[in-house]
């Protein structure tokens, strides 16, 4: 059974009081909506994770981290280990293109992070992304195969396809382009590694300039199981709307 997700990545935004106000607004907006088939995940900045998780305590909204260390414990100043998050976070974003670019994270480091997340019982949301290049397929396949090289069972895995040029630019990819990349590149690569069923069951999200007006066009594509939202997740009304649209698009299918 496929899972559908709406994931909000707050990135390095919000003060503590803004984070609490935003979380409370999302909770109020979604509290009365029952969406058993759509998992909502909020990924606040590290310092606000505990306070935000308290707001969502009695709800179905889960908490995710935006990153974890590739190491498990020890003298790694400033790093946060998966085991430190596992009581609070059920999800973690790994390999976001902003980290691949500005923190120079490579496929090998990202692969280690996926292992530490899974060992700590946290579901990795592995981001795969490409710049406008002539070898989209090759770049994405390599990102997938190297991130999963030490993962035998992908049952916890979620993949988010996010073209670099679409992130934060207001210029999303076209829904049919995204569906094509998922159908012809991402899922076949998962199938090659794990076989038909695990590949079919892995949720694949799209991220990059999604808002409440364009979300439905993406959600209507069978190949896409949800969205990873940056800017739209900072606006509680937009975020809740997109979560509801996900339920509407996917539950009727
Ligand atoms: P955006 O960011 O929605 O602001 O384009 C998406 C992301 O970085 O995941």
Mean pLDDT by 10 residues, the chain (253 residues): 90 98 96 83 98 95 98 97 98 97 94 98 96 85 96 97 94 95 98 97 97 97 98 98 95 62
pTM: 0.97
169 Cα nearest atom in ligand 1: 5
- pLDDT reported for residue 37: 84
Identified catalytic residue from 137, 162, 189, 248: 162
- pLDDT reported for residue 1: 61
CB 94 within 8 A of CB 64: no
- pLDDT reported for residue 4: 96
Q: Is 96 designated active site?
A: yes
Is residue 162 in contact with ligand 1, taking CB distance under 6 Å?
yes
Q: Is 98 designated active site?
A: no
> Within 10 A of 142 (CB to CB), how many other CB atoms are there?
14
CA of 209 to the centre of ligand 1 (A): 6
193-199 long-range contacts (CB < 8 A, ≥24 apart) are 193/144, 193/145, 193/148, 193/154, 194/154, 198/153, 198/154, 198/155
CA of 10 to the centre of ligand 1 (A): 9
11 Cα nearest atom in ligand 1: 8
Is residue 208 in contact with ligand 1, taking CB distance under 6 Å?
yes
Structure tokens at 9: 């990545």
232 Cα nearest atom in ligand 1: 3
CB 186 within 8 A of CB 128: yes
CA of 130 to the centre of ligand 1 (A): 14
């Amino acid at each position: 059974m496929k899972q559908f997700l709406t994931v909000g990545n707050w990135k390095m935004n919000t003060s503590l009081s803004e984070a609490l106000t935003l979380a409370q607004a999302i909770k109020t907006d979604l509290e009365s909506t029952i969406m058993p088939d759509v998992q909502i995940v909020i990924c606040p900045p590290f310092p606000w994770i505990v306070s935000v998780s308290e707001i969502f305590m009695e709800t179905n909204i889960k908490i995710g981290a935006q990153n974890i260390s590739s190491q498990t414990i020890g003298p790694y100043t400033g790093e946060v280990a998966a085991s430190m998050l596992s009581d609070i976070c059920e999800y973690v974003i790994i390999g976001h293109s902003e980290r691949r670019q500005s923190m120079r994270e490579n496929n090998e480091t990202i692969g280690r992070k996926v292992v530490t997340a899974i060992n700590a019982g946290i579901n990795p949301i592995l981001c795969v992304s490409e710049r406008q290049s002539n070898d989209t397929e090759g770049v994405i396949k390599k990102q997938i195969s190297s991130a999963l090289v030490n993962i035998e069972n992908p049952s916890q895995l979620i993949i988010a396809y996010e073209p670099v040029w679409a992130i934060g630019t207001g210029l999303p990819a076209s829904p049919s382009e995204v569906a094509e990349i998922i159908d012809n590149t991402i899922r076949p690569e998962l199938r090659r590694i794990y076989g038909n069923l695990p590949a079919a069951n892995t949720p694949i999200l799209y991220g990059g300039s999604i808002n409440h007006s364009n979300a439905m066009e993406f959600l209507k594509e069978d190949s896409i199981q949800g969205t990873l939202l940056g800017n739209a997740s900072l606006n509680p009304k937009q975020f809740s709307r997109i979560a509801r649209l996900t339920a509407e698009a996917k539950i009727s299918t």
